[in-house]
Chains A and B, each alone.
Chain A
């Protein structure tokens, strides 16, 4: 079945860039999302990219998509302590039944 994987933890220093990676297996994924979850809260949509794009930039956020390798990344420039959270990638697959599949989440810790 479809699978979406992320590394569990990432630690960076304040002011550095963070890169969170995501790999997926289903080549029919047409929309790919990044969500942020702060402690005690639900997921909030951060940004998204369509499968016909290679890159999308949104202020401090850059999303890169390598369709050949089925690899998605989220880069946060000038990482701040407020960026500490769990980040989830999510892909929508349309092969057969519609499915919205979340990755396992990456816990980002920003050190002051």
Chain B
């Protein structure tokens, strides 16, 4: 019962370095999401993919890119990391349809020095 798997769990980067966060789900869900969680701000949507082959910007997309590699995998890339991107990143997936609950991974804790 893996559900949504995120790798890595922790990462420290230097300013300007690049990195890709990986996410895979085994629930055959159509939709996948990337969020960042910061203290006192809840979760903010970075990008989402309603279905394989499509991606859309969320609330805070600047500084990030995404790739929906196939139905299972949705990656998030930081091309040139900045200290403001220090956060906990969560990947989620859901069945198709706007009313579906989302299933979350355990997060990637990313620090940018």
Q: Do A and B come from one complex?
A: yes
| B74 within 8 Å of A (CB atoms) | no
Sorting the interface of chain B by its residue count into under 10, 10 to 19, 20 to 34 or 35 or more gives 20 to 34
Which of B14-22, B41-49, B64-72, B78-86 touches A? B41-49
- In the complex, chain A residues whose CB is within 8 Å of the CB of B53: none
Interface centre among B4, B45, B98 (most CB of A within 10 A): B98
Complex contact B42–A42 (CB within 8 A): no
Smallest distance from the beta carbon of A70 to chain B beta carbons, Å?
A: 17
Complex contact A43–B42 (CB within 8 A): no
Bound form: Cα–Cα A98–B33 in Å: 13
Complex contact A4–B42 (CB within 8 A): yes
Complex contact A98–B98 (CB within 8 A): yes
Complex contact A41–B101 (CB within 8 A): no
Complex contact A42–B106 (CB within 8 A): yes
Complex contact B107–A104 (CB within 8 A): no
Complex contact B4–A42 (CB within 8 A): yes
- In the complex, chain A residues whose CB is within 8 Å of the CB of B33: 100
- In the complex, chain B residues whose CB is within 8 Å of the CB of A11: none
Complex contact A45–B101 (CB within 8 A): yes
Sorting the interface of chain A by its residue count into under 10, 10 to 19, 20 to 34 or 35 or more gives 20 to 34
Bound form: Cα–Cα A4–B67 in Å: 29
Q: Which of A89-105 contact B (CB under 8 A)?
A: 92, 94, 98-100, 102-105
Complex contact A33–B90 (CB within 8 A): no
- In the complex, chain A residues whose CB is within 8 Å of the CB of B43: 43, 88, 102
- In the complex, chain B residues whose CB is within 8 Å of the CB of A99: 45
Complex contact A105–B107 (CB within 8 A): no
Please, could you name 28 A-B residue pairs with CB atoms under 8 Å apart, sorted by A? A8-B40, A30-B99, A33-B101, A40-B107, A42-B4, A42-B90, A42-B104, A42-B105, A42-B106, A42-B107, A43-B43, A43-B104, A44-B104, A45-B102, A45-B103, A48-B101, A88-B42, A92-B98, A92-B99, A99-B45, A100-B33, A100-B45, A100-B102, A102-B35, A102-B42, A102-B43, A103-B42, A104-B42
